[in-house]
Amino acid sequence: MLRNEHNELLTRTGPDTPFGNMFRCYWIPALLAGELPANDCPPVRVKLLSERLIAFRDTEGRYGLMDEFCAHRGVSLWFGRNEECGLRCSYHGWKYDVTGQCVDMPNEPEHSAFAKKVKLKSYPLVERGGVLWTYMGPPEQQPPLPEYEFAMVPAAQSYTSKRLQECNWLQAMEGGIDSSHVSFLHRGDLHTDPLFKGSRGNQYNLGDLRPVFEVVESAGGLYIGARRNAEDGHYYWRITQWVMPSYTMIPPRGTHSVHGHFWIPIDDENCWAWSFDYHPTRHLTDAELAAMRAGKGIHAKVDGNFRPLANKDNDYLMDRAAQKAGRTYSGVEGFAMQDQSLQESMGPIIDRTKETLVSTDSGIIMARQRLLRAIKAFTDERVTPPGVSLEHQRVRSAAVVLPPDQPFKDAAREALIAQPGVAPASV
């Protein structure tokens, strides 16, 4: 369980909250590049860390992310005209460039210089790896662009999707580092999902339901090792990476692509579940890409607003017959919606004073402690939090079989670092 004041600290990320300030130290994914597909295309509403923003791409291809509302009388610029290097408010024609600077005020006297004095709050928006990233902190502390491996490999090796999750970011993220639920909630899909099936690791996963967890601090967050029995007294280790604040990498399976998530707060009761799949040394196949687009693996089928088609309004298309027959464990189809349905069922923000945590929750417990420590150091002394440094981002998850006397962190040291052109350590 967690004290209520700590739960509040960890779940509130709006402007001027302690964690909100720290979250604004990082580059975070804001949009898929495909959401702004062409110069002068329609603007897109974006809500991040409880701030309502508008994103657009101007006539020259520059990206802008700024306050959604016109400085004049507060109209949403979503109705605006994206033309001639700026977004023009539909009410009285004020026009803003990608930096939020007002560049035209056509309802003012012709020689008025007042437009120069009006600037909307704006943030950088930069494409890397098919994602538009933003940084919402103080400009003078802006770190270099992120270098998570999925965003650095050639485009043909990577696929990214996002889905709306209707709960606080932390309970979603905690699912991403809770490796013990896989043997239960996802057991039906390990055999059948085209992006997971067929690996030796799956047999270890299903054959040992009581993994022993060993959690070790990494420079940027945690290595979460889950140990299961393999043959001849050896151990099968699944090592999840968590990089602060909310990047998680699931250990790979066989020769499949590797994957993971970003959990980004929209506001305190909703988040974006970003899901990436990539292979460090090969192109994704047409069959893999088709499966990802069809919502297999960790991806989901979504509508035009990225809300999953299976959602709380239709009970996630619960199929009791499939549950009874063992085709799915919970009756919900697909890894992503199995996780999301249960995490949303906790309520918008789970009351962590009422939990009953056990040894397999040690990754979650340590992640909370690490976050609380970092928030305190940042709030009291402006200490740059773990995960901002590029070195902390150049990491990988791994799945390995090791002799019983080898500590996973040492034996898998090389495998836990992203090395261009080197295949992942996977079983």
Binding site for Fe ion (CB under 5 A): 339
- Rank residues 64 and 334 by Cβ distance to Fe ion and give the closer one: 334
d(CA 128, CA 125): 10
Least Å from the CB of residue 71 to ligand FES: 7
| Number of residues engaging ligand FES in binding (CB under 6 A) | 9
425 and 251 Cβ atoms separated by less than 8 Å: no
Report the amino acid identity of residue 233: G
Distance of CA 60 to the CA centre of its chain: 29
The interface mask with ligand FES, positions 79-118, x = CB under 6 A, is ----------x-xxxx------------------------
Residue 128 lies near ligand FES (rule: CB under 6 A): no
Report the nearest approach of ligand FES to the CB of residue 61 (Å).
Answer: 25
Query: Which of 70, 170 has the CB closer to ligand FES?
Result: 70
Asked whether position 72 contacts ligand FES by CB under 6 A, the answer is: yes
* Of the candidate residues 32, 33, 75, 118, the single one contacting ligand FES (CB under 6 A): 75
Compute the residue count for the chain: 427
Here the tokens at position 207 are 């054959």
Contact between 100 and 94 (Cβ < 8 Å): no
User: Which entry of Fe ion, ligand FES, none binds 137, CB below 5 to 8 A by partner kind?
Assistant: none
Instruction: Give the nearest distance from C-beta 320 to Fe ion in angstroms.
Output: 21
Q: How far is the CB of 103 from ligand FES (least distance, A)?
A: 13
Least separation, in Å, of the C-beta of 339 and Fe ion?
4
Comparison of 298 and 371: residue with beta carbon closer to Fe ion: 298
Side chain identity at residue 336, one-letter code: A
Q: How far apart are CA 35 and CA 11, in angstroms?
A: 28
89 touches, from ligand FES, Fe ion, none (C-beta below 5 to 8 Å by class)? ligand FES
Q: Report the half-sphere exposure of 328 (CA within 13 A, side-chain side).
A: 19
Torsion angle of the four alpha carbons 151, 268, 35, 75, in this order, in degrees rounded to the nearest 10? -140
Phi, psi of 47 (to 5 degrees): -115, 125
DSSP H helices, 97-213, are: 149-152, 169-176, 182-185, 187-192, 200-207
Residue 339 partner contact from Fe ion, ligand FES, none using kind-dependent CB cut-offs of 5 to 8 Å: Fe ion
Q: Residue 358 CB, nearest distance to Fe ion (Å)?
A: 18
Q: First and final CA of the chain: distance in angstroms?
A: 34
Q: Which residues are at the interface with ligand FES (CB under 6 A)?
A: 70, 72-73, 75, 89, 91-94
